[in-house]
Amino acid sequence: MKYAKDFLNHKILLSMKKFNFTSPVLEVGCGTGETLKELSKLYNIKGVDLSDDALNICRTKGLAVEKRDLFNVSERFNSIICVDVVEHISDDQLFANHLYKVLNPGGKIFVLVPSGKFLKDDEAFGHYRRYSRSAIIKLLKSSNFVIESTEMFGYPIFYYARIMMNFLYRDHAHEAKGLKERTLESSYKNPFDNTVFVKILDSLLKMPLMSKLLFKFFEFQNCFVNGNKGFAVIVIASKA
């Protein structure tokens, strides 16, 4: 799913520029560092994660990372990036409260959470839940965040691709693993990586012209950002 991640990083950078995110920046749940690497070109940023495997990959890229969860972060930041993390937390309100605590007054936060129906891939990823647009707004407002922007991400492209991939997905190995282990694996491993769909897409992306065409195709989803369906919800919020 590398291409989807590249497109998301493009969206994150555009949002950070539009809403005047400033350094220092914290990425919560940085995984293997794809986003961290891109943002480090423009911002003073560090990442935290709990997966040793993911953090080791980050370190080979020369990225500033630490093995910590958010609740053990005491420093303050002007900006926070939190992508595909909140759904892994049992007490999401307590988590949102701590995000607010470590953000400096006037600081900005970029949050992305999965939306849509809870399916088999959620079990493999170690998710507790998915969010509607209204649910994630309610959560952040309850922690005193000021909502500046919301949009649906990945409709119709990722939305229907996910449904199709769940149909193709036949690996039940995750069923023998606990929720914590599945969550840690999700930092560096995608359960869809061995599906036919991803293998075909990866082959197409090796062709420069096809790669450019697919990027334009992915941009088509921007026409649906104001709807209520999507693969995920993006929220930009601030601390007054």
- For residue range 170-186, list pLDDT tens digits in order: 655 556 567 767 776 76
- Integer distance in angstroms from the first to the last C-alpha of the chain? 36
Average pLDDT over residues 16-32: 97
Res 195 pLDDT > 70: no
Model confidence, pTM: 0.86
Could you tell me which CATH number the domain at 2-238 has?
3.40.50.150
Band the pLDDT of 229: cuts 50, 70, 90. confident
Confidence (pLDDT) at 173: 55
Confidence (pLDDT) at 2: 56
DSSP 90: S
Of residues 145, 141, 148, 156, the one with CA closest to residue 228: 156
Q: Which residue has better confidence, 194 or 84?
A: 84
239, 140 contact by CB (below 8 A): no
Confidence (pLDDT) at 201: 66
Domain boundaries, the chain: 2-238
DSSP 98: H
Confidence (pLDDT) at 164: 80
Average pLDDT over residues 27-44: 95
Query: Would you state the structure tokens that stand for residue 144, as one six-digit string?
Result: 């005193």
